[in-house]
Amino acid sequence: MPMKFPTISAFAIFLFAALLTLPGANGEAWGQSVLTTNSSPWTKAYHTRVRLIAGAPGGPASVDKLSAGIHIKLDQGWKTYWRTPGGVGGVPPYFDWTGSKNVKSVRVEFPAPSRVSGEDGVSVGYKDEVVLPVIVEPKVAASPVSLALRLDYGVCREICVPVQGKLGLVLAPLQAGSVQMTREAQLVELFSKRVPQDVTKALTGQPTAKKIEIDLVGSHPELVVKGEFPAGLDGADLFVEAPDGLYIGLPERMPLGDGRTMRFRIDLAKGEDPKLLRGKLLALTFVSANGQSEMRWKVPDK
């Protein structure tokens, strides 16, 4: 009886399955070929899901770096946290890039956050959806980059729940004149534009501080910042961060009547000894619906 051979289509399926077991099938370089995609699969966790997405080479990053994004989606009514969550027990995100290949450096950026009210109080973070832009510097620009990320972050509706995602994505190497604006790359670019820039480098019209005063030793210690928002006060807010784990609360907000100036007052009696702030370099992040910026300000030593 003559031997029957598999049909061409069946053989093609067999060959494709066999190739998936070879080096490079999961995105590692093999010869001159590499398997890259626009995103990793979604990883589902408690009322949230997360993935890595590829930005456009030479796009929001720079001509010699690659861009990507950590894309987080949340169920309705749930939130996740900024790098400084606020005073209600939130969990800031933690990024472990161990296992990434052809990576010289990785920098995660944070789009402008907002105050998010919940049953646990008011925190600082994001609702619905956020993309944290990632700037990647390859060791070898002409070779692909393999990202491996373990992400620890918190989600909350009534209480904060820590969750984790393990993600991987291969980014295509830099190529001169190659900027592919996929839907994922457009998302990275959109949220990159919401990352506050240093006031010395920000575009004209971005918010900034007109006056900063601090009282560390009076009966009512306070930090008062007069902020100017040239494009208007819609969504105007200020978030202040201190180093060394020192906590600074959210400010009271008072518009000053001209449609572009807001007074922010922070009660420093709520929390640690205000005198611990002497000589510290504070980070001030101004946000609004029409712009955002950040600056550094040193607390006087006396």
Range from 6-20, 48-62, 205-219, 232-246 carrying the lowest mean pLDDT: 6-20
Q: What is the reported pLDDT for 277? A: 97
**pLDDT exceeds 60 at position 16:** no
Q: Which pLDDT score, from 0 to 100, does residue 204 have?
A: 74
Where does the pLDDT of residue 25 fall: very low under 50, low under 70, confident under 90, or very high at 90 and above?
Answer: very low
pLDDT per residue over 156-210, tens digit each? 988 889 999 999 999 988 765 555 689 999 999 999 999 999 988 766 789 999 9
In the chain, the percentage of residues whose pLDDT exceeds 90 is 69
Which of 3-17, 87-101, 227-241, 261-275 shows the lowest per-residue confidence on average (mean pLDDT)?
Answer: 3-17
Q: And the tokens for 109? A: 């950026």
- Give the pLDDT of residue 5: 35
- Select the highest-mean-pLDDT range: 29-38, 58-67, 278-287: 278-287
- Looking at per-residue pLDDT, the higher value among 158 and 264 belongs to 264
Q: Has residue 29 got a pLDDT over 70?
A: no
Most confident by average pLDDT, 14-28, 35-49, 245-259: 245-259
**What mean pLDDT do residues 222-236 have?**
96
* Domains in the chain with CATH codes: 35-195 (2.60.40.1250), 208-298 (2.60.40.10)
Encode burial over 201-211: b for 16+ CB neighbours within 10 A, e otherwise. Answer: ebeeebbbbee
What's the pLDDT score for residue 14?
Answer: 30
Q: Check: CB of residue 282 under 8 Å from CB of residue 299.
A: yes
Residue-level length of the chain = 302
How high is the pLDDT of residue 26? 34
What gap in Å lies between CA 117 and CA 86, rounded to an integer?
11
Q: Please give the span between the terminal C-alpha atoms of the chain, in angstroms, as a whole number.
A: 99
Which residues make Cβ contacts (< 8 Å) with residue 160, sequence separation at least 6? 81, 88, 89, 90, 91, 120, 154
Q: Mean pLDDT across the stretch 55-63?
A: 64
In whole angstroms, give the CA distance from residue 215 to residue 222: 5
302 pLDDT band, cuts 50/70/90, is: confident
